[in-house]
Amino acid sequence: METVILASQSKGRRELLENEGFSLVPLPADIDENIPWVNPEKEIQTLAEKKALACHAQHPERPEKWIIAADTLVVFQGKPIGKPADIDEARAFLKALSGRMHTVISGVAFLDCTTGSLYSDSDVSEVHFKTLTDKEIEDYLATGEWKGAAGAYRIQHRGGGLVERIEGSFSNIIGLPLSKLFNIMHAAGYPAN
């Protein structure tokens, strides 16, 4: 497979793609991520598109032909929950999510740097948290996994123990809806092998 630029510093996204056999060059894009959140599914997809285009503009010397970009948002009771600023905010997020359902929305974009063609999509998954005790929350916070994680947890690691069930794509909850990505890569003409 051809080497692909990943316009992200997310370890979860990198692990997902490396597990699929991709050779990656991680180059996070520097963009303004402040958006109004009127239509989160469309806006998160647009944000992924902006990241792909910004990455290409910020690194025009790169020889790789393809860029993957993604962004993920946790929505709880109609409002976005980002990455916690500190452990107190992480605790508040986990207490709020305890025993309830929230939505994870990811946008993904795939850019052909040669033609400038941009392909994108989004995906939505539902995550149902178990009812958590204060001890379970404190034990999870002690792992440090909450740092830099939307909603203050990482489902692919110990955060999976906080979850009762999910509906939708597991990889989407990690931050990269693989089935949607593979569909747009196919549409873009990315060589499968």
Residues in Cβ contact with 37 at an 8 Å cutoff, skipping those fewer than 6 apart = 43, 73, 79, 80
CB atoms within 10 A of CB 150: 23
Whether residue 55 contacts residue 43, with contact meaning beta carbons closer than 8 Å, is answered with no
CB atoms within 10 A of CB 33: 11
- 163-167 and 66-76 beta bridge pairing: unpaired
Residue 86: active-site member: no
Instruction: List the catalytic residue out of 71, 112, 121, 123.
Output: 71
Strand locations in 11-117 (E): 24-26, 66-76, 79-81, 101-112
Residues carrying an active site annotation: 71
